[in-house]
Structure 1
Amino acid sequence: MPQLTDTDHTDRTDHATADHAIPEPATSEPETPQPATPQHAAPGERNGPAADTWMSPAAYGASRAALWSGACVLVTDPDGRVLVQTVDYRPDRLLPGGAVDAGEAPSAAAAREVYEELGIRDHFPRGLAVDWIPADAPGFEPEMRFPGEILHVFDGGTWDADRISAIRLPAQEITGVHFAEPADLPGLMHPGDARRALSALRARIDGGGPALLEDGRPTAPGALDRLGVLRTRRTPERGVWCAGPAPADLPVHDRAAWLFAPDGRVLVLIAHATGAARLPGGAPRPAAEPAVAEAEPLGYVREEDGVRIRSAARLRALGPAADPAHARLLATPEQVRDLCDWGPGAADQLTSVHAARARLGLPRPARRPATELPAEGLTW
Structure 2
Amino acid sequence: MPQLTDEAVTGDSGDGPGTWMSPQEYGASRAVLWAGAVVLVTDTDGRILVQSVDYRTDRLLPGGAVDTGEAPSAAAAREMREELGVDGSYLSGLAVDWIPADTPGFPPEMRFPGEILHVYDGGTWTPDRIDEIRLPAREVTGVGFAEPADLPALMDPGDARRALSALRARINGGGPALLEDGRPTSPTALDRLGALRSRRTPHHGTWHPGPVPALLPVRDPSAWLFAPDGRVLLLICRATGSAHLPPPAAPPAAGDAHPLGYRYADEAAHPRSAARLTRLPPAADPAYARLLATPEQVRELADWGPAGHAELAAVHTARTRLSLPAPPRTPLTELPSEGTRW
Q: TM-score band (shorter)? A: over 0.9
Write the deviation string for residues 141-161 of structure 1: whole angstroms up to 9, x where unpaired.
111100000000000000001
* Identity among equivalent pairs (%): 71
State the number of aligned residues. 342
Q: Does 1:379 align with 2:341?
A: yes
Q: Does 1:79 align with 2:41?
A: no
User: Matched residues in 1 for 2:154 and 2:341: separation?
Assistant: 44
Name the residue aligned to 2:326.
364
Name the residue aligned to 1:215.
181
Root-mean-square deviation (Å)? 1.5
User: Matched residues in 1 for 2:263 and 2:255: separation?
Assistant: 18
User: Matched residues in 2 for 1:290 and 1:172: separation?
Assistant: 63
Name the residue aligned to 1:138.
104
Name the residue aligned to 1:21.
none
User: Matched residues in 1 for 2:328 and 2:259: separation?
Assistant: 25
3-state SS of 2:10 partner: coil
User: Matched residues in 2 for 1:187 and 1:275: separation?
Assistant: 17
TM-superposed deviation, 1:76 = 0.2
Q: Which runs of at least 4 in structure 1 moved beyond 2 Å after TM superposition?
A: 44-48, 286-294
Q: Does 1:332 align with 2:294?
A: yes
User: Matched residues in 2 for 1:264 and 1:47: separation?
Assistant: 62
1:323 to 277, 285, 289: 285
Contact 2:255 2:276 in 1 (8 A): no
Structure 2: runs of 5 or more not aligned:
none
1:2 aligned partner, one-letter code: P
1:260 aligned partner, one-letter code: F
1:41 aligned partner, one-letter code: T
Contact 1:291 1:313 in 2 (8 A): no
Q: Does 1:233 align with 2:199?
A: yes
User: Matched residues in 2 for 1:214 and 1:161: separation?
Assistant: 34
Q: Does 1:195 align with 2:161?
A: yes
1:70 to 27, 31, 36: 36
Name the residue aligned to 2:143.
177
TM-score (norm 2): 0.97
Name the residue aligned to 1:164.
130
TM-superposed deviation, 1:40 = 1.1
Q: Does 1:5 align with 2:11?
A: no
Contact 2:225 2:275 in 1 (8 A): yes
Write the deviation string for residues 166-189 of structure 1: whole angstroms up to 9, x where unpaired.
100000000000000000000000
TM-superposed deviation, 1:248 = 1.5
Name the residue aligned to 2:273.
311
TM-superposed deviation, 1:291 = 4.2
1:101 to 51, 63, 67: 67
1:258 aligned partner, one-letter code: W
1:3 aligned partner, one-letter code: Q
Larger Cα-atom Rg = 1
TM-score (norm 1): 0.88
User: Matched residues in 2 for 1:351 and 1:321: separation?
Assistant: 30
Write the deviation string for residues 6-25 of structure 1: whole angstroms up to 9, x where unpaired.
68xxxxxxxxxxxxxxxxxx
Structure 1: runs of 5 or more not aligned:
8-38
Contact 1:257 1:292 in 2 (8 A): no
User: Matched residues in 1 for 2:137 and 2:262: separation?
Assistant: 48
Name the residue aligned to 2:10.
41
Write the deviation string for residues 66-122 of structure 1: whole angstroms up to 9, x where unpaired.
000000000000000000000000111000000000000000000000000000000
1:122 to 88, 95, 117: 88
